[in-house]
Amino acid sequence: MKKFVSSIAILLLVCLVLTAFAACKTEEIDTLVIYNWADYIFDVEAMKTEFETYYEQMTRKKIEITYVTFDTNETMLTRLTKGDSNVDVVCPSEYAIQKLIELDMLVPLHYFDEESYLNAFSSSVDSGSYVHNADNVEQGIRDKVGETFGNIEITADGANKGKQVSMLDYFVPYMYGTLGILYNKFEFERLGIYDGETLNKANWGILFNDNGEGGILSEDLTGNILMKDSIRDSYAATVFYLLESGKLEGMTNSEGKPYDEMPASELINAVEDNLLEVVKQTLTEQKSQLFGYEVDFGKDDLLMGNAIVDLAWSGDAMYAIEESWDDEREDYELAYYLPHSNGNIWFDGWVVPKTYDPDHLDAIKLFINYLNRPDVAAKNLLEIGYSAAIKPQVLLNDENAMRILAEGYEYDPDDPDEMAEFTDYFFHYEDEIDLSNWRYPFESAELNSDNYRNIDSLGVMRDFGDKNKAVVTAWNYSRSAGVNALPLLGWTALAVAAIVGAAYLIIAVKRFYRQRVVVRDNSEDGDTDKT
């Protein structure tokens, strides 16, 4: 009987263990590793909590997110190409995506082919609840990417070498922006150069203190201009300036095509030696007009009054403008100008490196689709300052997104008049000088097609490829030109000598006074020995 009871007890214990093990299996937690720019998503912890809830709704499973950041495309590329990083999804810029595709380091997503995208989900995903958000993405971005990159050839050795692929099969747009000029509007008014005719004649020449007719825009701008410490951005601004100032007239590429007849996207990707030499000399000559070079602090220098003009990205410009409100004048001190000749537009987007974990594929694809929800895009717009790759109309038609945006800008979403004012400001803003919507250039292109610009005047930069080293060399020359190491060393040596001399003088003086004290003390004691 005891043996029977013992057997029953053992069986029950085994059942309990198996039941507990089964319960543990159902509670297994999925994971996702995200690699993104620093400060490039709305509150990370809030995002994790929100996506975890969404993921559990879609899969009935829990998930843990590891969120890692990088500071430049080059840092990210180095980490991925070394193969020592097991990340699932990463957010590079368009030229870096081109490079990763050429190296055959990415997995195609086919986000804009809904059937292919859905077929890649496992049976864990609730297809009945899933809403595909690809149609929310701005068509203009997709068109620009297709126009600029066409088919990309995989150049890395392997089975795919020589294969022609589309970037849109690998890349899901996330944020985008323009390159333009941030300036102190109050100072421009004081200098008498704040009017449409003046600025639209100078265009990119503002960065070179050129009024568009070969003369100086303002003597007071000399030494008050900031340039981006960025090869690509400075190169783009310079070739646009050369084009509009007529300095490319008569110059052709190796195929005999005139540079001044090239559209924006072609011109900023032209890096042949003759053009590169002119860019190098122009940037070198520009140094006499500069306050300096910057990457992240140009907006702060303008806010503090250290400079008047800065080559800026649109998102940074928006941040700076909103920080520059002047209560006394009831106006913003800073403004952003997108030159009307040509310009640069850029995109960042999500891709999946081949280092991803195949078991994380559901999480990867759900995360990318989650980012294209209107409410999530609205949160990112507020946090980042750049334009989400979501059609403005999608945001306008979504009540939650509009409430998030309005409250973020301190408008009352329940007040129709305030909402009308906010909508006009946020989505249809046209500055009296600029007359263009630089937050949503795709939306404003049709409005401005007959006067100031259309979207075709904005170009996208590709990777410089085998000319990258030559471009870097030219940039380094321009940055360092005019700095003579010998005078610098001479002045440094003189300064060191002066410091050392002063130190010895102080020591000698102290010794002299100490000796005088000793002599005086000894004299008072009747001792005349001064040694």
Domain ranges of the chain: 21-170+348-371, 176-340+453-480
What is the residue whose two structure tokens read 């922006």? 177
Residue 228's beta-bridge partner residues? 294
pLDDT of residue 513: 44
- How many CB atoms sit inside 10 A of residue 13's CB? 10
Confidence of residue 294 (pLDDT cuts 50, 70, 90): very high
* Closest alpha carbon to 125 in 39, 25, 195, 56: 56
Question: 14 vs 270, which has greater pLDDT?
Answer: 270
> Which residues, other chains included, contact 182 with Cβ-Cβ below 8 Å and sequence gap of 6+?
298, 299, 302, 309, 310, 311, 312, 316, 317, 320, 321, 334, 335, 336, 337
Highest mean pLDDT, choosing among 23-27, 347-351, 454-458: 347-351
pLDDT of residue 28: 78
Please state whether beta strands 343-350 and 325-326 pair in parallel, antiparallel, or not at all (unpaired). Answer: unpaired
DSSP state of 431: -
pLDDT of residue 83: 79
Confidence of residue 446 (pLDDT cuts 50, 70, 90): low
Question: 166 vs 480, which has greater pLDDT?
Answer: 166
Virtual torsion, Cα 135, 140, 142, 143, nearest 10 deg: 130
Confidence of residue 496 (pLDDT cuts 50, 70, 90): very low
pLDDT of residue 452: 54
pLDDT of residue 296: 78
Evaluate if pTM is beyond 0.75.
yes
pLDDT of residue 43: 96
Q: Return mean pLDDT, the chain.
A: 86
**Element spanning 280, H or E:** helix 273-286
Question: 503 vs 64, which has greater pLDDT?
Answer: 64
Least confident of 126-140, 379-393, 467-481, 497-511: 497-511
pLDDT of residue 134: 98
Given this chain, do its domains 21-170+348-371 and 176-340+453-480 carry the same CATH topology?
Answer: yes
Fold for the domain defined by 176-340+453-480: D-Maltodextrin-Binding Protein; domain 2 (3.40.190)
What is the residue whose two structure tokens read 């005349």? 528
Determine the Cα angle at 490 with ends 291 and 289, to 5°: 15
pLDDT exceeds 90 at position 358? yes
The amino acid occupying position 201 is K
Separation of alpha carbons 473 and 245, rounded Å: 25
pLDDT of residue 441: 82
> Which residues, other chains included, contact 478 with Cβ-Cβ below 8 Å and sequence gap of 6+?
280, 283, 284, 287
Separation of alpha carbons 64 and 87, rounded Å: 14
CATH architecture of 21-170+348-371: 3-Layer(aba) Sandwich (3.40)
Separation of alpha carbons 301 and 502, rounded Å: 36
Separation of alpha carbons 33 and 89, rounded Å: 7
pLDDT exceeds 80 at position 6? no
Region 200-225: mean pLDDT is 96
Confidence of residue 456 (pLDDT cuts 50, 70, 90): confident
Considering the chain, what percentage of its residues have pLDDT values greater than 90? Answer: 73
CA distances from 251 to 103, 256, 280, 390, 519 (A): 34, 9, 15, 40, 84
Virtual torsion, Cα 42, 43, 49, 53, nearest 10 deg: -20
What is the residue whose two structure tokens read 């401005």? 448
Separation of alpha carbons 11 and 337, rounded Å: 78
300: left (phi over 0), alpha (psi -120 to 50) or beta: alpha
Separation of alpha carbons 207 and 245, rounded Å: 13
Considering the chain, what percentage of its residues have pLDDT values greater than 70? Answer: 83
pLDDT digits (tens, 9 = 90+) for 60-93: 999 999 999 999 999 999 999 887 678 999 999 9
Could you give the strand order of the β-sheet that contains 63-70, starting from the edge strand earlier in sequence? 63-70, 30-37, 89-90
pLDDT of residue 481: 76
Query: Can you say whether the dihedral through the CA atoms of 91, 149, 138, 405 is positive or negative?
Result: positive
Q: State the alpha helices, DSSP H only, in 64-174.
A: 73-82, 94-102, 114-119, 139-149
Confidence of residue 319 (pLDDT cuts 50, 70, 90): confident
